[in-house]
Structure 1
Amino acid sequence: MSNLFPAGRDFMNFSKNFFEDPFDHLLPSTANFNVDIRDEDDAYIVEAELPGMAKEAIQLKYEDNVLSIGATQETSKDEKDDKGNYIRRERSTKSYSRQFLLKNVKDEDIVAAFENGILTVTLPKKVSDENDPKQIEIH
């Protein structure tokens, strides 16, 4: 009976297939990159996996308590015949973007490093008195 359904279709998981983008499996470039965020005592440590990216292709910004990480990767493949004429020429551009809300950061002391496909961003925390409750007088 299983051969009655077309191959490659998952009819039993209708809600998943209905609500997701039907072209996600065709366009792997729309996938996001993996990010780990650790809350240390004095800083947030963000590690983003960006394999195959050049450091120059990464955009990093912290504004209004939001850390934005973006990356763009362009590839091209040219194949020519013996006379130098194109028989195939392909180009593609992939863009990635993630944003994270990280409050109470000393934005002037943020540092970032990119090594072996891993972007590491250290966001030092501000010393704040926000944890002390404030008594409000009722008039």
Structure 2
Amino acid sequence: MSDLFPAGRDFMNFGKNFFEDPFDHLLPSTANFKVDIREEVDSYILEAELPGMAKDAIQLKYEDNVLSIGATQETSKDEKDDEGNYIRRERSTKSYSRQFLLKNVKEEDIVANFENGILKVTLPKKATDETTPKQIEIH
């Protein structure tokens, strides 16, 4: 009898399940592309996995201590009969973006490479004048 009514967790996913393409799981997805950031002594190294993306479809920007990565992927599939008439024609466009807060970066020395679906960004650090905190006497 309990099978007749959906569980509360099923209602939470109703919108996602209703509007989701049933064949999406068959295609490679970069909706949440994976990113690794490691801090080295003199720089930050960011590696983002963007399989199937073309280099010219990726936008990279560093502004106000924020590194932004954007990508757009367009796909189309045309099926025609023997006379060249469309039986089916599908097109889709997907956009992805991520932002990362990385402070004390030498903006003019940032280097990015894209090879085999991996975007590697090297962000050199600025030399900081580390000052020791000054104790303030309260009167």
The CA deviation string for residues 16-46 of structure 1, in whole angstroms up to 9 with x for no partner, is 963x683278255682210000011100000
Per the normalisation by structure 1, the TM-score is 0.81
Partner of 1:133: 132
Q: Aligned partner of 2:46: which letter?
A: V
What are the ranges of 5 or more consecutive residues in structure 1 without an aligned counterpart? Answer: none
Say whether 1:23 aligns with 2:22: no
The answer as to whether partners of 1:51 and 1:118 remain within 8 angstroms in 2 is: yes
Q: Aligned partner of 1:40: which letter?
A: E
Percent identity over the alignment is 70
Partner of 1:119: 119
Helix, strand or coil for the counterpart of 1:95? Answer: strand
Helix, strand or coil for the counterpart of 1:31? Answer: coil
Instruction: Tell me the CA shift for residue 134 of structure 1.
Output: 3.9
The CA deviation string for residues 85-129 of structure 1, in whole angstroms up to 9 with x for no partner, is 111000000111000000000000000000110000000000001
Per the normalisation by structure 2, the TM-score is 0.81
**How many residues end up aligned between the 2 structures?**
131
- CA, structure 1 residues 78+42, in 2 after alignment: closer, same or farther (shift >3 Å)? same
Partner of 1:43: 43
